[in-house]
Amino acid sequence: MRIASNKLIDCIRFYHAELSNIYDKNEIEAIFYLVADHFLGFERTKVQTNLQSNINQSDLIKLYQCCSKLKKQIPVQYVLESAWFYGLKFLVSPQVLIPRPETEELVDLIVKENQDSVSFLDFGTGSGCIPISIKKQIPSAQVFAIDLSGEALLIAEKNAANHFTEIVFVNADILMDDFSIKLLNKQVQIVISNPPYIMSNEKNQMSQLVLKNEPHLALFVEGEDDILFYKKIINACEHILVSGGKLYFELNPLTANLVKLYTIQSQLFLEVKLLNDMSGKTRFLKAIKK
């Protein structure tokens, strides 16, 4: 199939025709706005007010080629190699998780509650979306971030440079017992993590788009213990979190109560609260260290 003309309206029609087996109408529209912004520099309103305008041939080819990749069920963020998060554009590749809106909610909460905090540590940083967004909002803070994946850290470092933020990135394994001690010789005021939290028995209910494209290292917690990452981070807080410091997690609603219980049983924290996301799901944990 070809795009009927160089008019923007025909490009949109083409995207609807080609992608309707994979996405619903609203999703295709949202994808088209991202694509138009990326290749044409057109924001949503500019698309809407220029439907009858012609785009040049080279842009038409780019839109066509992009649509062919989308048809192969590659997420638009990987096709465009970029994703928006908390008002910033991040470089993404299949080595990093595509940042999610729930995680933006977590960052918003942290930024609003911790304007005076001086040190932050993010476990499992992926694209670096969490530490970079925090550093942008609280420039005086010292921000540390760790990940097991060297490839993810390369992307995170590029993002930090693109946003002119200084973050200390560390290549380390959360699951190694001595990792917190090796990691930093100092304590921080805020610990954050959105660790891998999808259980293997959830795999068959997941979207193929996620399953086939996003890094399994970022998604799944393997083995018997569904909250292993949380436990390791909670235990590490004994050494790395200052007294009065705060711990923030993004959670799997299915294991949220287990994480809360473990946090309480660790006896490291005074206050342990679960919070809902905008869709009403139990999604975050916040705890204050004794």
Ligand X SMILES: C[S@@+](CC[C@H](N)C(=O)[O-])C[C@H]1O[C@@H](n2cnc3c(N)ncnc32)[C@H](O)[C@@H]1O
Spatial separation of the C-alpha atoms in residues 250 and 252, rounded to whole Å: 7
Distance from the Cα of residue 193 to its chain's centroid: 11
Q: How far apart are CA 60 and CA 40, in angstroms?
A: 10
Q: Is 124 in the site for ligand X (CB under 6 A)?
A: yes
Where does 50-140 have alpha helices with state H?
Answer: 57-71, 76-80, 101-113, 129-137
The residue range among 63-71, 125-133, 159-167, 181-189 that interacts with ligand X, by the rule CB under 6 A, is 125-133
Nearer to ligand X, 74 or 148 (CB): 148
- What 3-state DSSP class applies to 284? strand
Of residues 71 and 216, the one with the C-beta less far from ligand X: 216
By CB under 6 A, name the one of 147, 167, 255, 287 that touches ligand X.
147
| Residue closer to ligand X (CB basis): 195 or 245 | 195
Provide the sign of the torsion angle of the four alpha carbons 91, 94, 95, 96, taken in this order. Answer: positive
Among 19-27, 189-197, 270-278, 280-288, the segment contacting ligand X (CB under 6 A): 189-197
Indicate the residue among 60 and 217 with the shorter CB distance to ligand X. Answer: 217
* Least Cβ distance, residue 272 to ligand X (angstroms): 21
Closest by alpha carbon to 159, among 113, 127, 122, 191?
127
Q: State the nearest-atom distance from the C-beta of 271 to ligand X, in Å.
A: 24
Give the pair of three-digit tokens for residue 270.
């005074």
Rounded to the nearest whole angstrom, what is the least distance from the CB of residue 103 to ligand X in the complex? 4
* One residue of 175, 199, 209, 211 binding ligand X per CB under 6 A: 175
